[in-house]
Amino acid sequence: MGVRAAVEEKLRNSEPITEEERTQIEGDMATDINNAVYTAALVYERAEGLGLLYGNGHHMAQEIALEAANRLKERFQKAREIDAAQTTRRNLSVV
């Protein structure tokens, strides 16, 4: 089993992961969404090639893919903030 698969398995089983593992899986997923959205957005380049739109379809696809990856990263950051707040609350309730 690869490192990514092992980390995903830990998460599915609600097992803790290291900060390094979390950073790695988030980066991998951001790359995945960037690549998938870029491939889908190449419709702009095809439309440009057919004369249906003007401009650089390839660059448009890149911009859309980057935006999708950035939005995913923002959600990862929000999840980290929520996790940190919950951990702080738990720690304060123990005192």
**How does the average pLDDT of the chain come out, rounded?**
91
| pLDDT of 91 strictly over 80 | no
The pLDDT of residue 95 is 58
User: What is the identity of the amino acid at 35?
Assistant: N
Neighbours of 32 (CB within 10 A): 12
Q: How confident is the model at residue 76 (pLDDT cuts 50, 70, 90)?
A: very high
> pLDDT above 70 covers what percent of the chain?
97
Q: What pTM was estimated for this model as a whole?
A: 0.80
Q: What is the rounded CA–CA span in Å between residue 12 and residue 20?
A: 17
User: What is the identity of the amino acid at 47?
Assistant: A
| pLDDT of 94 strictly over 70 | no
Show the 3-state SS of the chain: CCHHHHHHHHHHCCCCCCHHHHHHHHHHHHHHHHHHHHHHHCHHHHHHHCCCCCCCHHHHHHHHHHHHHHHHHHHHHHHHHHHHHHHHHHHHHHC
